[in-house]
Amino acid sequence: MQTRFIDKNIKYEGFQLSPHWIYKNFKIQGDAVVAFIGECDVKLAEMVDIEDVINNEPIYSKSMLSFISEQFNVNLIEGVFRQRLLITVIKESLEKMGYLVRRDGDDLFYDGRKLTVSIATKSVNSVLIHTGINIISSGAPVEASGLTEDMNITDVKSFAEEVLKRYSEEIDDIVMASTKVRGV
């Protein structure tokens, strides 16, 4: 899996969760995950999570670390497993830094407040995943925690690069593990 930290401010508005967005914008073809920092403002019209639409729960963060992944030849159930793997990699990375983080499904909580948003969906030819981690928690529509504001993580880029590396290695290792066994 290819990875890249995009070193420019990108406002995540939901439309980026679309087929070939990574390829069209960053010339990365195939299975990939990119990370970037920017404001997050997803209006209900762009929401993929129907439950959030029904509950009238748009997403907003003044500053968020976003991960977008597109993976091909994967069904939606496997895509949700891969989404949960990304969340687990993030959780383990934070715990390695000494932070106690709780996972509930595809959400992470720090100090009892929501740290992440995440969704996996299926396009006509791929699975798309967005996971966002609040950097700044103030101004969010729910009680939130943030990497910098609440956890004092100031080098967000290095943290993102570590998550990208570990997630890519996990996916690649899973694929390789599937090639070394004898069918029965």
Answer whether residue 140 shows pLDDT above 90.
no
How far CA 63 is from CA of 18, 36, 139, in Å, comes to 21, 10, 10
Q: Are 42 and 72 in contact (CB under 8 A)?
A: no
Q: Would you say residue 103 has pLDDT above 80? A: yes
Domains of the chain listed by start with CATH number: 2-177 (3.30.930.10)
Query: What local confidence, expressed as pLDDT, does residue 116 receive?
Result: 97
CA distance 72 to 67: 17
pLDDT at 22: 98
DSSP 96: H
Query: How far, in whole angstroms, is CA 137 from its chain's centroid?
Result: 17
Determine the average pLDDT of the residues in 120-130.
Answer: 97
